[in-house]
């Protein structure tokens, strides 16, 4: 009788990383580039070596895995219930809404659908609009990377909460599915919020499948443009980490509240040396 | 003119030439998004049948964007060469396709007729052509330009080395540059997309590339792809500017959203010419375009995205650029949904550009939310190189870590040169041989640590040596 085993468990390479350069360089077909040390200056895919003039197998697979992760970030649906559960465990109220984009395909083909709430969401938000005015409404959108939302939102929200002026009224956290940035303005308008911050999955890059973006609007209403919002990009531990991102957001939010404006009219002069994006980690 | 076509009992009507062109266009997401695409397969074919019967002369009578409102339309109409057009003025769009494919329309004839062809005529005929037609005719169109080397000779394929870095780190950029040069890339241009907008930081980038070009005496040119008004400023401050870059589109309104017009381009063009930095030629401009940009700027006037794209080539050809690049898959799936649409668009753009006399290259590329992958890029780059494409992008491992998209690599360029027997620009090829990067058969040579370029690193990289 055959033993019931995972066929991959017999493969010694199944769970180990791909072999390092020197093991492959033993192959006569593989030509190593002697400028490996330059890799410490950039995350660009330099000094890959070649077989003939083509990419070595290792690099084809490495690129393929990066692309696969970026594709999954776009196409795997955000687990909205799990996210809301996590936020509720942290003491936040949550509200789930959906855009007019029925599925990922229509989301990708019709950006305008992703910017508008569906009818059920409009009624839900109208019913939920609190009597006490909201100062700072947080909206979470899946955007183009559910991975970014799953990995970073709960931790980022905790940092925002602790950096926020205690007198500010936060309101429930609205989680929007198949959402584009502008949907937050419609949500903010319906909730009569003074400001809205949208935390949304950014278009994934090959080296950054889980990058989160933050968009701040003062006096949100449907139909506002990019020029009316301030953007903080590349929020993730390898980019702009949670605490500096929250600090930057709150700096902008306080200024927006004071000047009653956001977007191009609100220049970001938060301490740039402290919150500068860390471009690359040489130890990676 | 009335536009209609009957198929059996069905009569298909089209409002005007612009509507007819849109309905005749091969299906793509951007035209659906704009609400101008054919609603059925049969309507699309009826539109093509109707279009085939439209005389080319009609395109000089009926413009797709009003003459009074749009300087691109005025440029197209006012610069039209009636003498060059005379040879084809009796043709319909359908006849024009047949004529283009005929052996009578050879390279010399096509060059002669080119100034008589408007972008809309080129776009129209492309809608009746299959992919192989687009390849065959483009291959017959020879467009040669020069600055410090000669670009676009038949049998040659050049590469734009694109050493981008997310924070413009000088060492990171220099490292990617060295990587590309040692792989035989960089003859079209060494062109950086900067992260910064600051003039002093941009100046640093110009000096960085210029220093590398001088240090190794490379017969190529540099470019920093910042806004044209920034480039005018750095030229005033004495920066070593070889090529002036700008993204352009096919309507005045779309160009306005880019913060440019033909007058600003003219100013930059004259400033770059005055620097006289070209050694063997005076083509000083580098343009980028891409289907969908006018719609995304809400400036498409109900015209399909491919026709608008071809109109951008009228703006480009006014300035005799060294290079013109269609960035085909960068814009996203709402304009070009998948590999099939991206491939078709790339072939159309290359055909239209070459027919209109532009040195057309292609950023064969896609984003991670498009239904495409590197296999689609392999297909498109192979088809385009077969069609005589002027240049492709060369990015380390095809992964642009600054712009977050995937394009083509130094390895890809070597593949194309090997499979199709293509060569780099002749002056650059000579340099590659002299530097022991390429052998006499065009193969890359093994590079060891003792190689001249590794022993004498660019200044910024010395600390790593």
| pLDDT value for A22 | 46
pLDDT in tens, B226-253: 999 999 999 999 999 999 999 999 999 9
For the cut 70, the answer to whether the pLDDT of residue A91 exceeds it is yes
pTM of the model: 0.91
What is the residue-averaged pLDDT of chain A?
87
Is A109 in the B-facing interface, judged by CB distances under 8 Å? Answer: yes
| pLDDT value for A9 | 37
The C-alpha atoms of residue B99 and residue B214 are separated, in whole angstroms, by 47
Give the residue, A223 or B12, on which the prediction is more confident. Answer: B12
| pLDDT value for A225 | 86
Residue from B133, B40, B54 nearest B344 by CA: B133
Task: Locate the chain A residue with the closest alpha carbon to B183.
Answer: A53
- A-chain residues near B334 (CB < 8 A): 108-111
DSSP chain A: ------GGGG-TTTTSPPPPHHHHHTSTTEE--TTGGGGGG--S-----EETTBPPHHHHHHHHHHHHHHHHHHHSPP-HHHHHHHHHHTT--EEEEEBS--SHHHHHH-HHHHTSB-HHHHHHHHHH--SSPPSEEEEEE-TT-HHHHHHHHHHHHHHHHHHS-TTS---PEEEEES--TTHHHHHHHHTT-SEEEEEEEPPPBTTBTT-EEEEEEES--TT--GGGEEEEEEESTTSB-HHHHHHHHHHHHHHHHHHT--GGGS---S-HHHH------TT-
For the cut 70, the answer to whether the pLDDT of residue A284 exceeds it is no
For the cut 90, the answer to whether the pLDDT of residue A124 exceeds it is yes
Task: Locate the chain A residue with the closest alpha carbon to B412.
Answer: A54
pLDDT in tens, A139-163: 999 999 999 999 999 999 999 999 9
Cβ atoms A227, A216 nearer than 8 A: no
- Residue A248's CB is within 10 A of a number of other CB atoms, namely 25
In SS3 terms, chain B reads as: CCEEEEECCEEEEECCHHHHHHHHCCCCHHHHHCCCCCCCHHHHHHHHHHHHCCECCHHHHCCCCCHHHCHHHHHHHHCCCHHHHHCCCCCEHHHHHHHHHCCCCCHHHHHHHHHHCCHHHHHHHHCCCCHHHHHHHHHHCCCCEECCCEECCCCECEEEECCCCCCCCHHHHHHHHHHHHHCCCCCCEEEECCCCCCHHHHHHHHHHHHHHHHHCCCCCCEEECCCHHHHHHHHHCCCCCCCEEEECCCCHHHHHHCCCCHHHHHHHHHHHHHHCCCCCCCCCEEEEECCCHHHHCCCCCCCCHHHHHHHHHHHHHHCCCCEEEEECCCCCCCCCCEHHHHHHHHHHHHHHHHHCCCCEEEECCECCCCECCHHHHHHHHHHHHHCCCCEEEECHHHEECCCCEECCCHHHHHHHHHHHCCECCHHHHHHHHHCCCECCCCCECCCCCCCHHHHCCCHHHHHHC
- B-chain residues near A53 (CB < 8 A): 411, 414-415, 418, 443-444
Is B451 in the A-facing interface, judged by CB distances under 8 Å? Answer: yes
Residues 327-346 of B with CB under 8 A from A: 333-334, 337
Is A59 in the B-facing interface, judged by CB distances under 8 Å? Answer: yes
Give the residue, A275 or A193, on which the prediction is more confident. Answer: A193
Give A16's pLDDT tier (boundaries 50, 70, 90). Answer: very low
For the cut 60, the answer to whether the pLDDT of residue A17 exceeds it is no
pLDDT in tens, A24-56: 444 678 899 999 999 999 999 999 999 999 999
| pLDDT value for B459 | 80
For A88-99, what is the mean pLDDT? 97
Best of A28, A45, A146, A200 to disrupt the B interface (most B CBs within 10 Å) is A45
| pLDDT value for A280 | 36
Percent of chain A's residues with pLDDT above 90: 78
- B-chain residues near A239 (CB < 8 A): none
pLDDT in tens, A97-123: 999 999 999 999 999 999 999 999 999
For the cut 80, the answer to whether the pLDDT of residue A180 exceeds it is yes
Point out the residue among A55, A74, A110 whose CB comes nearest to the CB of B411: A55
- A-chain residues near B330 (CB < 8 A): none
Which parts of chain B sit beneath pLDDT 70?
462-465
For the cut 80, the answer to whether the pLDDT of residue A3 exceeds it is no
Is B404 in the A-facing interface, judged by CB distances under 8 Å? Answer: yes
């Amino acid at each position: 009788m055959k033993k019931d085993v995972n066929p991959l468990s017999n493969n010694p390479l199944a769970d180990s990383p791909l072999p390092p350069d020197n093991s492959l360089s033993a192959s006569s077909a593989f030509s190593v580039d002697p400028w490996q040390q330059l890799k410490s200056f950039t995350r660009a895919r330099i000094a890959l070596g070649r077989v003939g003039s083509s990419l070595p197998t290792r690099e084809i697979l490495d690129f393929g895995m990066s692309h696969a992760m970026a594709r999954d970030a776009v196409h795997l649906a955000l687990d909205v219930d799990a996210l809301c559960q996590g936020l509720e465990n942290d003491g936040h109220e949550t509200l789930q809404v959906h855009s007019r984009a029925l599925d990922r395909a229509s989301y990708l083909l019709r950006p305008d659908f992703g910017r508008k709430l569906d009818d059920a969401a409009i009624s839900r938000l109208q019913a939920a609009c609190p009597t006490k005015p909201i100062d700072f409404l947080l909206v979470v959108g899946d955007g183009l990377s559910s991975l970014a939302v799953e990995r970073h939102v709960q931790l980022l929200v905790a940092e925002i909460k602790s950096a926020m002026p205690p007198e500010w009224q936060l309101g429930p956290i609205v989680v929007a599915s198949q959402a584009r940035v502008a949907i937050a303005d419609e949500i903010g308008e319906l909730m009569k919020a003074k400001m809205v911050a949208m935390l949304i999955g950014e278009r994934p890059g090959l080296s950054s499948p889980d990058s989160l973006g933050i968009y701040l609007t003062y006096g949100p209403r449907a139909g506002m443009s990019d020029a009316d919002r301030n953007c903080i990009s590349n929020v993730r531990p390898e980019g702009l980490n949670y605490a500096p991102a929250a600090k930057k957001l709150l700096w902008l939010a306080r200024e927006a509240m004071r000047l009653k404006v956001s977007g191009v009219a609100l220049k970001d002069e938060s301490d740039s040396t402290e919150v500068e994006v860390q471009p690359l980690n040489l130890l990676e | 003119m009335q536009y209609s076509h009957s198929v059996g009992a069905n009569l298909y009507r089209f409002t005007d030439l612009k509507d007819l062109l849109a309905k005749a266009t091969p299906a793509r997401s951007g035209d659906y998004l704009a609400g101008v695409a054919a609603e059925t397969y049969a309507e699309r074919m009826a539109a093509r049948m109707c279009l085939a019967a439209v005389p080319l002369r009609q395109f000089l009578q009926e413009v797709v964007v009003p003459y009074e409102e749009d300087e691109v339309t005025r440029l197209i109409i006012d610069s039209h060469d009636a003498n060059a057009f005379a040879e084809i003025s009796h043709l319909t769009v359908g006849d024009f396709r047949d004529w283009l494919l005929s052996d009578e329309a050879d390279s010399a004839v096509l060059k002669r007729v080119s100034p008589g062809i408007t972008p809309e005529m080129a776009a129209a005929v492309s809608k009746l052509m299959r992919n192989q037609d687009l390849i065959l005719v483009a291959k017959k169109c020879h467009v040669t330009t020069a600055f410090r080397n000669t670009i676009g000779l038949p049998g040659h394929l050049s590469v734009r080395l694109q050493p981008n870095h997310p924070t413009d780190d000088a060492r990171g950029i220099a490292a990617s540059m060295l990587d590309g040069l040692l792989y035989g890339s960089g003859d079209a241009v060494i062109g950086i997309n900067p992260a910064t907008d600051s003039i002093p930081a941009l100046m640093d980038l110009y000096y960085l590339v210029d220093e590398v070009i001088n240090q190794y005496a490379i017969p190529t040119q540099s470019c920093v792809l910042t806004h044209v008004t920034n480039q005018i400023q750095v030229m005033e401050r004495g920066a070593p500017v070889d090529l002036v870059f700008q993204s352009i589109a096919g309507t005045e309104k779309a160009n306005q959203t880019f913060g440019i017009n033909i007058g600003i381009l003219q100013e930059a063009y004259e400033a770059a010419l005055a620097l006289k930095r070209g050694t063997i030629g005076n083509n000083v401009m580098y343009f980028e375009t891409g289907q969908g940009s006018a719609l995304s700027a809400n400036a498409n006037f109900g015209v399909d995205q491919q026709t608008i794209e071809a109109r951008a080539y009228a703006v480009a050809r006014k300035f005799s650029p060294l290079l013109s690049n269609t960035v085909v898959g960068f814009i996203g799936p709402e304009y070009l949904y998948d590999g099939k649409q991206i491939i078709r668009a790339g072939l159309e753009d290359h055909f239209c550009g070459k027919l209109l006399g532009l040195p057309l290259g292609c950023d064969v590329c896609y984003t991670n939310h498009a239904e495409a992958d590197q296999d689609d890029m392999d297909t498109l780059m192979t088809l385009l190189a077969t069609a005589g494409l002027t240049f492709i992008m060369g990015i380390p491992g095809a992964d642009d870590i600054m712009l977050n998209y995937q394009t083509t690599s130094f390895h890809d360029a070597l593949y194309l040169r090997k499979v199709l027997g293509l060569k780099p620009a002749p002056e650059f090829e000579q340099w590659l041989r002299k530097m022991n990067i390429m052998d006499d058969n065009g193969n890359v040579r093994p590079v060891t640590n003792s190689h001249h370029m590794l022993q004498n690193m660019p200044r910024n990289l010395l600390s790593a040596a």
